[in-house]
Structure 1
Amino acid sequence: MLADPQSKVFVLLVETLVDFIQVYKDELHDWLLMLVSQLLKLMGTDLRVSLHSKVNNALDLVRESFPCEQQFSILMRFIVDQTQSSSLKMKVAVLCYIEKLSKRMKPNDFANSSEARLAMSRIITWTSEPKSFDVRKAAQAVLISLFDLNTPMYTMLLGALPKTFQDAAESFCTTTCAATAPRQALYSDDFWLTYRLILNVVFVNKNWKGSLAGVGQWEINMTV
């Protein structure tokens, strides 16, 4: 029924779902992947404003009710799931969810896994999405949020990607952070020098041939 937003009982169903989560959240961890996936898919459809608001409220409740580490892992899996095609609206919904989640996460919740690396490569690719400014903006916001959340882990994860991805992400982070006063105060020139040295020294011997244009083939190799 969640897959049919035109149903007359859809509004009642979402409201009931919210109540259900509030009462039984401690028993729903095994159901979280399906729950998040279905709600995000709904956000990618053409919902009326009132329905969109209710689904968004349900997602807000999910974000507040379950462990951040578990949610982050599920979102990484959702992004790299090749069995579904993501619409532009769905990409925005996923990215906005991740950015908001990152504000609640602890640094240790940001795990460096194969799925996270693959998802990061796609998020970096989405920063240059030609068909949607909203997708580009949301993807950039996620990179900044994850960088702020755990810079060492972000750097380590980024270093496992092809150099073209590293350059794209590093260039964006440096230019964006330098353009805002709070971040400029937080990250000094010495910080950025150290950040670049980590990338250049630790990963200098990696001869990556991947490119943004060839992300598909590289992603296949990453999952082997």
Structure 2
Amino acid sequence: MKFIASSLCAAAFAALSFSAQAESAPQEAKVDLANGQAKYGACVACHAADGNSTIPANPKLAQQHPEYLAKQLKEFASGKRDNAIMKGMVATLNEQDMKDVAAFLAMQPGKAGYAKNKDTLALGERIYRGGIPDREIAACAGCHSPNGAGIPAQYPRLSGQHAEYTEAQLNAFRSGARANSAQMTGVAAKMNDKEIKAVSDYIAGLR
């Protein structure tokens, strides 16, 4: 009987200890989609109400991984990603707002895009799916997936993105103007203008 009582006491103590730890552990704040939509209102002129920008210079944000979007917003705010317009736009957002906006955009269905240049389609596909082995450039598909869906929380969704925007970002990585991804800087640094343009156009048509 003493053994049973002792075991019950130990179990009760363990349960109380676990409960106390659970209560003291920081709770992950839940996203507020309504707040995200409201805060996103200031972004509509450039990125459209549903995140499917129709302006080639401005990225489509719909269906993008929320972790990636929140990271970019934080880096615009800190200046790690240099963009004067975006820095001003995010100046009024706190970290929770950024998560809410990112979550709202992630819920919006992305609209398909299309490749425009048939003459460079084969080159773009070759780079995206096989990389450029003689220059040790890995296939884009390895991180962004064969259909451009990306890998959540690690690599962004690319499918359907405006070719003009993708090309501009690859050029910015190559020149060092965009310096918030050492991995992408290393990749772009080894690519020439024709390759960047071809793979950007190919990405636009991924479904």
TM > 0.5 fold call:
no
Structure 1 length as normaliser, TM-score? Answer: 0.26
Which protein is richer in helix relative to its size? Answer: 1
Greater RCO, CA 8 A, separation 6+:
2
Structure 2 length as normaliser, TM-score? Answer: 0.27
